[in-house]
Chain A
Amino acid sequence: MIIAIASGKGGTGKTTVAVNLTLSLDNVQLIDCDVEEPNSNLFLKLKLERAEDVSIQIPVIDEEKCTHCGKCSELCQYNALAVLPDKVMVFKELCHGCGLCQMACPQGAITERDRTIGIIEKAEGEIEFLRGVLNIGEAMSTPLIKRLKEKMNREKTVILDVPPGTACPVIEAISGVDYCLLVTEPTPFGLYDLRLAVELCKELNVKFGVIINRDGTGNQDTEDFCNEQGIPILLRIPYDRKIAELYSKGIPFVREMPEWRARFKDIFRKIERVETEK
Chain B
Amino acid sequence: MKQVLVISGKGGTGKTTLVAGFASLAGNAVIADCDVDVPDLHIILQPRIQEEIPFYALKAPVKDESRCVECGRCREVCRFNAIDEDFNIIDLRCEGCGACAFICPVNAIEMTDREAGRIYISRTRFGPFVHAQLKIGEEASGKLVTEVKRKAKELAEKENKELILIDGSPGIGCPVIASLSGVDLALIVTEPTVSGIHDLERILDVTEHFKIKTSVCINKFDINEEKTNEIENFCNENGIPLLGKIPYDSSITRAMIELKTVIEFSSPKTSEQVKKIWSKIIKRV
Contacts and interface: CB of A to CB of B under 8 A. Distances in A.
B174 A165 contact: no
Interface residues of A, number: 57
B95 interface: yes
Given A39-B198, A43-B194, A245-B223, A9 B12 contact: yes
A11 interface: yes
Contacts of B102: 75, 100, 103-104
Interface in A173-209: 175, 185, 187-189, 192-193, 196, 199-200, 203-204
A204 B91 CA distance: 11
B172 interface: yes
B79 interface: yes
B92 interface: yes
A39 to B, nearest CB: 4
Nearest to B133: A196
Given A137-B209, A187-B256, A36 B173 contact: yes
A248 B227 contact: yes
A53 to B, nearest CB: 18
B93 A217 contact: no
Interface in B82-111: 92-93, 95-99, 102-103
Given A10-B12, A12-B12, A43-B194, A164 B136 contact: no
A15 B227 CA distance: 19
Interface residues of B, number: 62
A91 B124 CA distance: 39
Contacts of B138: 167
Residue with the greatest number of chain A CB neighbours at <10 A, chosen from B16, B174, B196: B174
B64 interface: no
Contact of B195 (A12, A39, A163): A39
A25 interface: no
B192 A10 contact: no
Interface stretch (B22-30, B37-45, B151-159, B274-282): B37-45
Nearest to A16: B195
A247 to B, nearest CB: 6
Given A12-B11, A139-B173, A218-B257, 6 more contacts: A10-B10, A97-B79, A136-B206, A164-B171, A199-B136, A249-B224
Interface of A: 8-12, 15, 36-37, 39, 42-43, 75, 77-78, 96-100, 103-104, 134, 136-141, 163-169, 171, 175, 185, 187-189, 192-193, 196, 199-200, 203-204, 217-219, 244-245, 247-250
